Chains A and B, each alone.
Chain A
Amino acid sequence: GDSVTQMEGPVTLSEEAFLTINCTYTATGYPSLFWYVQYPGEGLQLLLKATKADDKGSNKGFEATYRKETTSFHLEKGSVQVSDSAVYFCALSPARGSQGNLIFGKGTKLSVKP
């Protein structure tokens, strides 16, 4: 079945460092891909999305490109801030036969130190 694999955490970075969180997926056809973020004590918030191959999602300085050839959707940010400390989840919505339910990776906890 469809699945998402993302890099294990936790990840600890200094402020202004470059961030990459790897995400790869297994799915039939062309799923939609998402990154969600969970700040402490809050629900999951959509960070960015891409719905077809080569699309680039971006928001708040974060970017991810839908790579069909490598089945990847890696999250990047050029300069992280302390306020980016959170848990990041990669997710997919299957291409067909679903009501939009999401399949999540395990989540990667990011801590940014001043």
Chain B
Amino acid sequence: EPEVTQTPSHQVTQMGQEVILRCVPISNHLYFYWYRQILGQKVEFLVSFYNNEISEKSEIFDDQFSVERPDGSNFTLKIRSTKLEDSAMYFCASRVGQGATGAYEQYFGPGTRLTVT
């Protein structure tokens, strides 16, 4: 069964460093997402990506964040200068479906735990 994969499973970085979190969505999916979950808090939407551009982003997704689909298979989230409060579990998700309905299932990866020290 196809699945979304994420690497690394755990990333430790120092404050101020850049990190890139990687995701490989399911191959025939068209919509891609990043979410994050700070320990003990809700899973929060960060950004959605469709047709090689950002289609929607939350208030959390400020200028320190960027996303890219560099080669047609990988989907990356970059944090340019990490802060302590960026420590969280980051989930990638993808879905197949045309249009902007919310009824299609999103398939989630296992997450990358980012620890900023």
Which A residues lie at the B interface, using CB under 8 A? 31-32, 36, 41-46, 49, 51, 89, 91-96, 98-107
From B33, B50, B110, contact of A43 by CB (8 A): B110
Q: Top 4 closest A-B pairs, CB basis?
A: A93-B102, A43-B108, A44-B108, A104-B43
Instruction: Tell me if B75 is interfacial: C-beta within 8 Å of chain A.
Output: no
Contact with A along B70-102 (1 / 0, CB 8 A): 000000000000000000000101010100111
Q: Identify the closest chain A residue to B101 (Cβ).
A: A100
Instruction: Tell me if B11 is interfacial: C-beta within 8 Å of chain A.
Output: no
From B4, B48, B97, B107, contact of A101 by CB (8 A): B48
Q: A51 contacts B103, CB within 8 Å?
A: yes
CA distance A113 to B114 in the complex (A): 32
Q: Identify the closest chain B residue to A100 (Cβ).
A: B102
Instruction: Tell me if B111 is interfacial: C-beta within 8 Å of chain A.
Output: yes
From A36, A42, A46, contact of B110 by CB (8 A): A42
Q: Which of B1-30 contact A (CB under 8 A)?
A: 4
CB distance from A73 to the nearest CB of B (A): 14
Decide: A44 near B56, CB < 8 A? Known: A93-B103, A98-B102, A99-B100.
no
CB distance from A36 to the nearest CB of B (A): 8
Q: A99 contacts B56, CB within 8 Å?
A: yes
Q: Identify the closest chain A residue to B44 (Cβ).
A: A104
Q: A43 contacts B111, CB within 8 Å?
A: yes
> In the assembled complex, which residues on chain A have CB atoms less than 8 Å from the CB atom of B93?
44
Q: Identify the closest chain B residue to A105 (Cβ).
A: B42
> In the assembled complex, which residues on chain B have CB atoms less than 8 Å from the CB atom of A43?
4, 91, 108-111
CA distance A51 to B56 in the complex (A): 21
Contact with A along B46-77 (1 / 0, CB 8 A): 00101000011010000000000000000000
Q: B91 contacts A49, CB within 8 Å?
A: no
Q: Identify the closest chain A residue to B4 (Cβ).
A: A43
